[in-house]
Each structure stands twice: as C-alpha cells, then as structure tokens.
C-alpha cells in the first residue's frame, strides 16, 4: 500500500515542505511514499481529516491551522499543548495524534549557528510560531523573554503559552522596539516583509533568527550580516522540523540531514531563477 503525507495550509503553493520530505524519502531509500501540498483553510480542515484513508501516515500543518486543529485530535503531546500549536499530525492505530516539531527545528537551527546559551532574548510577532520560539528559548535555559507585537491583543495566546511554559513574558509594542532590543538574541516570527522596516534596529542584536526562508536573504538578514552579526534563516528551522516529522511518520531514524538541506537550497534557487 502506498503511504501518504502532505502539508496543509492556506496559501500553500509556496511551501518548501514537499521538496524537503521527498528528499528525505530518497535519502532513506523509501519507496511507495508520497508527499503533497494541499490547499486547506480553517473551514475545510475537519472535512479533509474525515476523508483520509488508511494510507495516510501524517500531515504537516502551517498557517492558519496550527491552533484550530486541537479539537480535531484524539491526543496531543504535552509540548504542543504548552506551546499552543500543533504543526504535525500522526495517524496511529486509528487515532489522530498532534505533535510540535517547530521547537525542535528552532533549537537545532540555533545550535548549528552556535547560539546555545543566550542571556536575554526578544521575540517579534504573536502568531503560533511565537509560542514555539518561547519553548525553544526555554530549551536553551531562559526563563523570561520579551515579546514585541503591533497590538497588545495579539499577545494574548502567546502570553498564555508563556504561562504554560513557566516563562515570564514582557509585552511591548513596536514603538518600544529600541528598549526591547536589549538582548543578545532576537527571533522574528513575522511574515515575509513585515520585519523589513525594523531591520536597522534589529541589526544591533548580536544574533538574529528570521523564520522567513524565501526570498533569501531578507533585508533583515542582510542588515545583520552587514553589522557582523549572526544570522539564522528559516530554511534551517524548516529543515530540522521536517526531518523530525519524517522520523515520526516513517519510524526511520536518523534521517540524513545534508541531502535534505541541499534539496531545499536547490528548490529556493530554482524558484528565484524562474
């Protein structure tokens, strides 16, 4: 029987996940595995899940599904509950199980860049990825962080995640960004283009993690590099969270990292050239 997995979200055409997962299957020598990108908004998620057959091993979830999927699952891993975001659904023994591999992806991406023990950190944005960023910071030993959002109301769910994670969160607006950047690590979870206006200010931080992966480098990444700072890009996070997903879907471990990274980089270059 063919085994299937896919990434769901809206919009989804830009997703790099198919290139990464398919490369992982090749690296593992797996045959009969298929991975697709499926356009799916919040209103269509329940029906899509209900229509999946026994050939399905798992799903990757991106915007806007990471929070709304909770009531559709049978079990959810503790970390995903704490973060308030599920980016991975595993079908096991007729049940739907939710996981969060974004945290793993962030920690691995930071470690690759040599960022393992920040003294203070600031997170930009209040979406689902912001909660994962807080959990990653906790993994690195921090118990407090600053969150910068456009409006205080946008911080509510991330603040609740911080409480579940046992972290102290200070919330500031972008008008207070200069004060908030008294840190040695900044993590921007903002969508593509949203951090551009603040690139100059953020470049003063020694290490900056921009979760955007295309187009790359972003204006923020260029500004940090020009100042001699450390830049971590979204591809590294996406790579490692995808590898963890493949391990969960297939039961095969370890997944070779470099062939998957090369596939992601090649896909980004091909899109830029096309």
Distance (Å, whole) CA 190 – CA 211 = 8
**pLDDT at residue 39 in the model:** 98
DSSP state of 150: S
Instruction: Report the range of poorest mean pLDDT among 6-10, 127-131, 134-138.
Output: 127-131
**pLDDT at residue 239 in the model:** 98
Each as own residue / partner, the long-range contacts of residues 190-195 (CB below 8 Å, 24 or more positions apart, any chain) are: 190/124, 190/125, 192/218, 194/125, 195/124, 195/219, 195/220
Q: Read off the tokens for 223.
A: 């500004």
Q: Read off the tokens for 154.
A: 């946008």
Q: Measuring CA to CA, how many Å separate 75 from each of 9, 43, 66, 89, 207? A: 21, 21, 15, 10, 36
Backbone angles phi, psi at 30, to 5 degrees: -85, 130
Q: Is the CB of residue 126 less than 8 Å from the CB of residue 44?
A: no
pLDDT band at 1 (very low <50, low <70, confident <90, very high): confident
**pLDDT at residue 103 in the model:** 98
For residues 231-268, one letter each, b for 16 or more C-beta atoms within 10 angstroms of the residue's C-beta and e for the rest, the string is bbbbbbbbbbbbbbbbbbbbeeeebeeeebbebbbebb
Distance (Å, whole) CA 226 – CA 249 = 40
pLDDT band at 93 (very low <50, low <70, confident <90, very high): very high
| Percentage above 70 pLDDT, the chain | 100
CA nearest neighbour of 237 among 116, 114, 103, 142 = 103
Judge whether residue 153 has pLDDT over 90. no
CA nearest neighbour of 19 among 225, 260, 231, 180 = 260
Q: Measuring CA to CA, how many Å separate 166 from each of 41, 58, 143, 144, 159? A: 32, 30, 7, 9, 11
Q: Measuring CA to CA, how many Å separate 3 from each of 57, 58, 79? A: 6, 9, 27
Distance (Å, whole) CA 266 – CA 258 = 12
Judge whether residue 251 has pLDDT over 90. yes
- Name the residue with higher pLDDT: 143 or 152: 143
Mean pLDDT in residue range 36-63: 97
CA nearest neighbour of 208 among 109, 127, 132 = 109
Q: 66, 96, 97, 240: which is the annotated catalytic residue?
A: 66
Mean pLDDT in residue range 168-173: 96
Q: Read off the tokens for 209.
A: 């993690």
Whose tokens are 């994670």? That residue is: 165
**pLDDT at residue 230 in the model:** 98
Mean pLDDT in residue range 23-30: 98
Judge whether residue 274 has pLDDT over 80. no
Backbone angles phi, psi at 243, to 5 degrees: -60, -40
Mean pLDDT in residue range 177-182: 90
Known catalytic membership, residue 66: yes
**pLDDT at residue 72 in the model:** 98
Mean pLDDT in residue range 153-165: 93
Q: Using one digit for the tens of pLDDT, what is the confidence trace for 186-205?
A: 999 999 999 999 999 999 99
Q: Residue 138 CB: number of other CB atoms within 10 A?
A: 20
Judge whether residue 84 has pLDDT over 80. yes
**pLDDT at residue 152 in the model:** 82
Q: Using one digit for the tens of pLDDT, what is the confidence trace for 205-231?
A: 999 999 999 889 999 999 999 999 999
């Amino acid at each position: 029987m063919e085994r299937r997995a896919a990434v769901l979200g809206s919009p989804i055409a830009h997703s790099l996940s198919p290139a990464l997962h398919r490369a992982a299957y090749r690296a593992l020598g797996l045959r009969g595995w298929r991975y697709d990108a499926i356009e799916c908004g919040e209103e269509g998620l329940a029906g899509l899940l209900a229509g999946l057959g026994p050939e399905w091993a798992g799903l990757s979830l991106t915007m806007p599904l990471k929070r709304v999927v909770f009531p559709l699952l049978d079990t959810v891993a503790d970390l995903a509950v704490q973060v308030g975001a599920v980016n991975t659904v595993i079908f096991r023994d007729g049940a739907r199980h939710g996981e969060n591999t974004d945290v793993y992806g962030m920690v691995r991406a930071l470690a690759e860049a040599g960022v393992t023990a920040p003294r203070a950190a600031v997170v930009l944005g209040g979406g689902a990825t912001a909660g994962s960023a807080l959990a990653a910071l906790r993994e690195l030993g921090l118990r407090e962080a600053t969150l910068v959002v456009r409006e205080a109301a946008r911080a509510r769910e991330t603040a609740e995640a911080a409480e579940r994670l046992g972290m102290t969160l200070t919330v500031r607006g972008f008008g207070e960004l200069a004060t908030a950047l008294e840190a040695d690590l900044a993590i921007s979870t903002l969508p593509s283009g949203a951090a551009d206006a603040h690139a100059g200010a953020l470049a003063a931080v020694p290490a900056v993690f921009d979760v955007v992966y295309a187009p790359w480098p972003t204006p923020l990444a260029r500004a940090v590099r020009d100042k001699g700072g450390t830049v971590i890009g979204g591809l590294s996070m996406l790579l490692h969270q995808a590898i963890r997903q493949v391990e969960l879907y297939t039961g095969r471990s370890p997944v070779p990292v470099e062939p998957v990274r090369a596939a992601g980089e090649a896909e980004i270059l091909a899109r830029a050239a096309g």
